[in-house]
Chains A and B, each alone.
Chain A
Amino acid sequence: MTGMNRLPAPAGSLLDRSKTIAFQFEGRTYEGFAGDTVASALAANDVWILSRSFKYHRPRGILTMAGLDANTLVQIGDEPNVLADRRAISEGMIVEGQNYSGSLEHDSETWIEMFGRFLPPGFYYKAFYRPKGAWKFWEPFIRNRAGLGKVNTAAHHGYYDKEYLFADVAVIGGGPAGVAAALQAADAGAEVIVVDDGAQLGGSLTYARFDSNGRSGRALAEEAAQAVAARSNIRVLSGAVCTGNFADGWLAVIRGNRMYKLRAKASVIASGALEQPAVFRNNDLPGVMLGSAAQRLIRHYGVRPGREAVVVTANADGYAVAADLVAAGLAVNAIVDLRPDAQPSPHVTAAQQLDLRIITGSAAVEAVPTLGKRGISAALVAALNDDGTADAAAESIPCDLLCMSVGYTSLAHLLHHVGAEFAYNDSTHMYEPASLPAHLFAAGSVAGAHDLDAVVAEGRRAGSAAAHDAGFGAGAEPPAPIERGDRHHTHRWPIFPHKRGRDFVDFDEDLQVKDLVHGAADGYDDIELLKRYTTVGMGPSQGKHSAVAAVRILAKEMGRDLQDMKVTTQRPPFVPEKFGHMAGRVFEPGRRTAMHHRHIELGAKFMPAGLWWRPAYYGKPADRETAIRDEVLGVRNNVGLIDVSTLGGLDVRGPDAAEFLNRMYTFTYTKLAVGRSRYVLMTDQAGAVIDDGVACRFHDEHFYVTATTGGVDGVYRTMLFWNAQWRLNVDVANVTAAYAGVNIAGPRSREVLQKLCTDTDLSPAAFPYLGVRLATVAGVPCRLLRVGFVGELGYEIHMPAHYGEHVWDAIMEAGKPLGIRPFGVEAQRVLRLEKGHIIIGQDTDGLTHPYEADMAWAIAKGKPFFVGQRSIAIQNGKGLTRKLVGFTLTDASAPPPEECHLVVRGADIVGRVTSAVRSPVLGKVVGLAYVAPDQAEPGKSFDIKVGRGRVIQAQVIPIPFFDPENKRQEM
């Protein structure tokens, strides 16, 4: 049994009655058909309460049946805030309501409504902070109640992805206007993509009653779908929502778990219009819904929306709704027309012929709730005075369904997103687009046309204009409709405030008329202020059913003209989006050296260096200190091997190569001999140190320049930037990834390398410190550099990356009898610190200039220019404010301070520690720190503030700490 309210076919165009589906709601099992949404299947089973309202915990049910309200938000398994009127049921689905204590049916928090007068808008600005400490008491209570839905932080990740789409013309909306536009554009030769949120094309043709051609909407919808399918240059995305319109014709479309990024040369927005609720006491209860919602229930899902109905209307559509209700077997007890007389229309005539009771010049002023407010039992109807207010005396008309067809607002959000201007039209009582940006067109009810023939005609015109804009079609413009049918759809004041309140303007935020009135009276008299103060339009529906009513109320309160007022800015997304949609597939780029798997096999603990992964040390985290210490000693006493592939490498080549380096770096390179290297230090235009490395001259016109792992991409960029201006005859190539690299270091490193490198004389005389050679290592042509970063005899071997693993293996094999050990970044940091070598970005900051870092030796005197030269001179001329020095601790047993522990003098901060370690080789703490200039001489003391306010004393000592004459690296 799939529901007591089920209507027989042909009602239920979206259903497949051959498949029944069982699902649970609030712990009970229900059955529906394939094609049912959660809301329609529950309605078929006479379950009308879907949620509890945000503040007052009032029962809520179907309002739009179009996924455009927040009454239908439910929790499905681990997924919170699912729109029940859009999500299809599936076998075994477990659905629960949200925002209640106890059960949805019997929410134990409904008592909150009794205290409504203490919870006006903005109450939280005026309470909960006195006496001091009050917030600590209230916060947990409020946090517990805030929010909708439950997030399971251990939930399994869903599979979300994205796809790019391209179109000449994008048409948003597959109703009559959109289809007409798509056909026109396609026939002009454009590639068209139609985005429609329905399961079938046709929009309102699929649910509303049309009489203009004497054919039913369904037949027109089928014709439209066939015409579209017949054209191979139209692609339709059904069940897809366009959530945002961005610059340059970029549209975000969501379907299921995929976000489409649609780039269109021209777009036609035919997104339609949404009926608006009337505002009266208890207009929010289950059983009170838009007329179109009742029609969707009937035609899409074959559900009878009630048993006895009252229709409140101000247009012909309400009469069509009444006819649909009668045909679905309901008793329509009255049509209440806000207008003094109904405009003539075939729908009015039909209602008269059905002998329905029509009460003009009246309004429903209250819906009478059933027990527990779980539904309604009657509508109180009163006559309207000339000023739009309702009479006190009211007649009670029984009903369990109250349909509202009192007007529309265009779903023009996608036009708002790109800055379309809107103006209030006093004869239609609607905001309409006044101007559209380039490449954007609007058609149908979104632009104010409601007559079906007019909608189709304007659709054709928009499609033709869009195709033409995209470069297609030279034919004449299709004719404009004679009659737009834009009037008599929307009432200017369907708002009937009640002295006892509960006349809701915004259902999401539980805002009543008086809340907005009081907000304006509190001084928030601009709609932007009123919105943020009262939160009108800030809930999940984002004002779809409240924004215009709010402006109407404010206009009346302030005595202003709606033509001088605007609705608040609409921003993407049009409907709720998930972070999963925006994230798509979460892949994080990661760069691995050629030796990566060898490090894994050797038990490396990896650390990130930018996008690269590098071994920090080899061993388990529990053994970290020992591992690093042993690696350091392995290098100092024997031979070690570290993977330095990540370090930057640039080939700078050309007749002006030396001149180029002279300008980019502080040192001078014109006279650097081929086969030698020299330190490079780069400063920016402000004179701050930004990178370092070595420049290796392999030819008069070729320098291989190294850079830091994290800095090379920036160095490359800045080189290209400057040479675009200087136009020196030089070519710069970033070859970092092309060369894998190792540093073999330690007193026995030459011994190991000699086994593998037979074509080059490695003796100290033939290949001195700072020399560079092209050599063959393990059969592979390599660039060999004698470097001294760690302060031992050592060679950097740069080989073509695809040979990296082979060369590493060969070195480890050759070094095995000598006990060669791999070492990681942490050991390297200790080794370099024992030599007092700085690391850019650790011992320098964004302002450090060379004199502060004791690097004046790297500045060539007598060069006419290098980047930063002038700034450095100015900085130096002002005198130093700090100086980088080497230090040890006065108390030899004190633990090393940490990076960024402050150097203090009394109450002043004069510097900070940048690096510090207990040296395994020296057996004491050594480090680098910025201190005041007058503290900067060896022998002077200074204070370091370490954790918990303790202050320890340090002493300046000369650098290098280890092997001060640098004999070991120059062996």
Chain B
Amino acid sequence: MPAEVSISPAAHPRRSCIYRVLQQAGARFAPVNDAAIAVDFGKAVETEVAQASTMGIADLSVLPRTGFKGAGAVEWLTSQGLAIGPDSNRAYPQPGGELAARLAPTEIFLIDGLAGTGELIRRLNAAWSWGSERPRKLIGYPMPRSESHAWFIVTGNQAPAMFAKICGVDLRLHRFAVGAIAQTSVAKMSAIVIRADLGGTPAFHLLADSASAEYLWTCVLDAMAEFDGAPVGWSALRELAGGG
């Protein structure tokens, strides 16, 4: 992005829970979907790509996400064009780059692709309604996942070693496959961990209580320090994922 142009997150009504922490770390922001995302931390993209390849963390909290749960949810989503496999604790990639994380037989947490355009999510949120048929057809219920959860992504080949300090699930690459989901405790908090590599770089989505976002970010940064971890921006992630 252009060197000195950086918008303020407070210029938008919708703000990440940790925008001040990101500002203090030197983040520069650009608009995406009516909010401001940290595109970098003042370093060249190659530097941040290298950082992200070993040990990095980024805040994706302003990117679109949604969820649906309850009887009929998966059938309805399938009818809306999603491809959802049968296993729980598995994330199913969608054609637009979104990930449908099946948390339970009748529960889907849908996160947008890195580009964050949010088309699928907007469409699904708009498509859900109570309907007028009686008896009402059960199609599950929408969940406010964009608000209840903060969304971080932890990247790099040191990520499993770092997670081993704050999470009791074996996240080593040969034990936790791409697409696997752990609903577990990270730094004493309930969290959802989804492995979703960016190109050849190991990457883990970390979704947890939005009210505890500052706490969780601090814990992860502390655990990363041993591996010279640092925050990275959106630009570096998109570079790792293969541009665009």
Contact = CB atoms under 8 A, between A and B. Distances in A.
Interface of A: 161-166, 261, 585, 587, 589-594, 597, 611-612, 645, 651, 653-655, 699, 701-702, 729, 731, 733, 735, 737-739, 778-780, 800-803, 805-807
B130 A701 contact: yes
Given A699-B130, A701-B130, A802-B61, A587 B15 contact: no
A587 B16 contact: no
Nearest to A613: B211
Contacts of A699: 130
A801 B147 CA distance: 5
Given A164-B167, A653-B141, A802-B17, 9 more contacts: A164-B168, A589-B189, A589-B212, A591-B215, A655-B136, A729-B71, A737-B149, A738-B147, A800-B146
B170 A802 contact: no
A423 B32 CA distance: 71
A802 B148 contact: no
A779 B141 CA distance: 24
Q: Name the prevailing secondary structure of the A interface residues.
A: mixed
A691 B17 CA distance: 29
B82 interface: no
Contacts of B175: 166
A925 to B, nearest CB: 37
A733 B136 contact: no
B209 A737 contact: yes
Closest 7 pairs between A and B when the two form their complex, measured CB to CB: A738-B144, A591-B211, A738-B147, A806-B13, A738-B148, A731-B70, A801-B147
A716 B229 CA distance: 37
A739 B69 CA distance: 18
A806 B211 contact: no
Interface of B: 10, 12-17, 20, 35, 61-62, 69-71, 130, 135-136, 138, 140-141, 143-144, 146-149, 164-165, 167-168, 170, 172, 175, 187-189, 209-212, 214-215, 218-219, 222-223
B48 to A, nearest CB: 25
12 contacts: A164-B170, A585-B223, A587-B188, A589-B215, A591-B212, A592-B17, A593-B211, A738-B148, A738-B210, A779-B13, A801-B211, A802-B16
Contacts of B144: 735, 738-739, 800
A164 B171 CA distance: 10
A701 B69 CA distance: 15
Contacts of B222: 585, 587
A737 B211 contact: yes
Contacts of B168: 164, 261
Nearest to A778: B13
Given A585-B219, A806-B14, A731 B141 contact: yes
Contacts of A801: 17, 147-148, 210-211
B147 A165 contact: no
A304 to B, nearest CB: 41
A587 B215 contact: yes
Contacts of A733: 69, 141, 143
A806 B15 contact: yes
Given A735-B148, A800-B146, A654 B164 contact: no
Contacts of B223: 161, 585
A660 B175 CA distance: 42
Nearest to A651: B141
Contacts, number: 117
Contacts of B16: 802
A801 B209 CA distance: 11
A592 B62 CA distance: 18
Contacts of B141: 651, 653-654, 731, 733
Contacts of A805: 10, 15
A806 B62 CA distance: 14
A856 B210 CA distance: 38
B61, B135, B146 pick with most chain A CB within 10 angstroms: B146
B16 to A, nearest CB: 7
A166 B61 CA distance: 32
Given A585-B222, A587-B218, A701-B136, A802 B211 contact: no
Contacts of B138: 654, 729
B205 to A, nearest CB: 18
A590 B187 CA distance: 12
A269 B160 CA distance: 28
Contacts of A653: 70, 141
B122 to A, nearest CB: 14
A159 to B, nearest CB: 9
A733 B106 CA distance: 13
A735 B147 CA distance: 9
A653 to B, nearest CB: 5
Given A612-B211, A733-B141, A800 B130 contact: no
A589 B146 contact: no
A611 B216 CA distance: 14
A737 B147 contact: yes
B147 A802 contact: yes
Contacts of B219: 585, 587
A735 B211 CA distance: 12
Nearest to A739: B147
Contacts of A702: 130
Contacts of A163: 164-165
A802 B71 contact: no
Contact of B211 (A165, A592, A597, A800): A592
Contacts of A645: 211
A780 B13 contact: yes
Contacts of B143: 733, 735
A779 B13 CA distance: 9
A654 B135 CA distance: 11
A161 B225 CA distance: 12
A176 B211 CA distance: 53
Nearest to B135: A655
Nearest to A804: B15
A802 B15 contact: yes
Nearest to A700: B130
Contact of B170 (A166, A587, A612): A166
Nearest to A655: B136
A162, A164, A802 pick with most chain B CB within 10 angstroms: A802
B14 A802 contact: yes
Given A592-B214, A738-B148, A161 B165 contact: yes
Contacts of A611: 212
B54 to A, nearest CB: 18
B34 to A, nearest CB: 10
Contacts of B62: 802
A166 B172 CA distance: 9
A655 B70 CA distance: 12
A370 B171 CA distance: 61
Contacts of B164: 163-165
Contact of A589 (B70, B140, B172, B188): B188
Contacts of B130: 699, 701-702
A731 B13 contact: no
A737 B215 contact: no
A737 B61 contact: no
Contacts of B14: 800, 802-803, 806
A164 B164 CA distance: 5
B148 A803 contact: no
Contact of A800 (B136, B147, B165): B147
B73 to A, nearest CB: 9
Contacts of B170: 164, 166
Nearest to B14: A802
Contacts of A593: 211
Contacts of A778: 13
Nearest to A162: B165
A738 B66 CA distance: 12
Contacts of B172: 166
A594 B69 contact: no
Nearest to A587: B219
Contacts of B69: 731, 733
A597 B9 CA distance: 14
A590 B217 CA distance: 12
